[in-house]
Amino acid sequence: MNCPLCNSDQIHRSPRKTLGHKILSLFNKWPYRCYICGHRFYLMQEKRDEGEATPPLQQS
């Protein structure tokens, strides 16, 4: 996946915190943010079985 603005692959998925994010998740849409240019955008989330036990990206 790449940023649609600068085409960087330095993007990360925003953590799901808000009700809005939960609603978006129902449509398999997730907010992403580009580390390089700071652009925020939405991508379709690949549906993987059930559960989110091991999120691929975790901000510490």
Binding site for Zn ion (CB under 5 A): 3, 5-6, 8, 34, 36-37, 39
Query: Widest CA span of the chain, in angstroms?
Result: 33
Terminus-to-terminus CA distance in the chain, angstroms?
A: 22
Least Å distance, CB 36 to Zn ion, is 5
CA distance 48 to 60: 23
In this complex, which beta carbon is closest to Zn ion, that of residue 23 or of residue 36?
A: 36
**Would you state the structure tokens that stand for residue 22, as one six-digit string?**
């939960």
Q: How far is the CB of 46 from Zn ion (least distance, A)?
A: 21
Least distance (Å) between residue 43 CB and Zn ion: 13
